[in-house]
Amino acid sequence: MSNPITVPDIISKRYSNEKLVMLTAYDYVFAKLVDAAGVDIILVGDSLATVVQGLRTTLPVSVDEMIYHSRLVSRAVRNALVVADMPFMSYQLSAEQALESAGRFVKEADVAAVKLEGGANMAPTVRNIVRADIPVMGHVGLTPQSYHRMGGFKVQGKAVSEENKIIEDALAIEEAGAFAVVLEGIPPDLAGRITQQLHIPTIGIGAGAECSGQVLVLHDLLGLKLPEETKKPKFVKQYASLGQDVIEAVKTFAEEVRELKFPTEEYTYKRKVGKLSAVVNIS
């Protein structure tokens, strides 16, 4: 088994030719599978609100819920760097509140780093958390926790004034001590300019190919959705259709049960010399 990936490892890849790969995971099983596939970073995203909890935005998910899911992921991972999203209103009230929330993620969920949204306005918060030796990943551009201010999940940085603001935000987050920054929902040329100016890695989602790495939501990548849920963001490439596979598998199981085709003798126990003996190992 290779050595676990660390924050310094992530930073060092900024100047290598190897692109960083980050995916979300929200539970033990998927985290174990994603880790086995060899990604660099596993993000326990507050996207669990929409992906797992069925909510419209990421805003309602709580710190306790995020810590619970982060703990499951950390328990499974052996190689990747585990980063946890700090949910809405867990770091905005004060520097003390932010530090306490970040500390809970490290102590209670065993994550290696936390991620928070915001630019120059959040730089003092990032700086305060980093001073406590808790690594921080930033997130600028389209920030889902700003859903209401932005009027939905809309591409940012189209106007020159917006471009300059996003660049300033990314620079401020780097100066505050973040080890990496997510660039979401911005034009690729802007993401490229930011990547060139920063000394820390950029991880893009809907930000083009010039970033230091890429991230997607695991369930989007795997196609874990109902057939009628065809709408997906432009930047999402679906690599599998597991939602349909699940439906077909469950349908087949239900049919076999109703038609008395399951369980057959192959999947049942039988008595042998006065005791039960397994025909097959079902553990």
Q: Please report, rounded to a whole number, the percentage of residues in the chain having pLDDT higher than 70.
A: 96
* Angle, CA of 142, 146 and 40, to the nearest 5°: 50
Q: What is the pLDDT of residue 1?
A: 54
Q: Does 122 score more than 60 pLDDT? A: yes
Q: What is the pLDDT of residue 274?
A: 59
> Model confidence over 159-201: pLDDT tens digits?
998 999 999 999 999 999 999 999 999 999 999 999 999 999 9
Q: Is 163 a catalytic residue?
A: no
29 phi/psi in degrees, rounded to 5: -65, -50
> Model confidence over 146-157: pLDDT tens digits?
999 999 999 999
End-to-end Cα spacing for the chain: 25
99 phi/psi in degrees, rounded to 5: -65, -40
CB 159 within 8 A of CB 176: no
Q: What is the pLDDT of residue 283?
A: 54
The pLDDT-based confidence of 277 (bands split at 50, 70, 90) is: low
Catalytic entry in 184, 229, 259, 266: 184
Q: What is the pLDDT of residue 228?
A: 80
The pLDDT-based confidence of 106 (bands split at 50, 70, 90) is: very high
Q: Does 280 score more than 60 pLDDT? A: no
> Model confidence over 27-40: pLDDT tens digits?
999 999 999 999 99
pTM of the model: 0.94
The pLDDT-based confidence of 257 (bands split at 50, 70, 90) is: very high
CB 213 within 8 A of CB 201: yes
Q: Does 281 score more than 90 pLDDT? A: no
Q: Does 234 score more than 60 pLDDT? A: yes
Q: What is the pLDDT of residue 219?
A: 97
Q: What is the pLDDT of residue 279?
A: 55
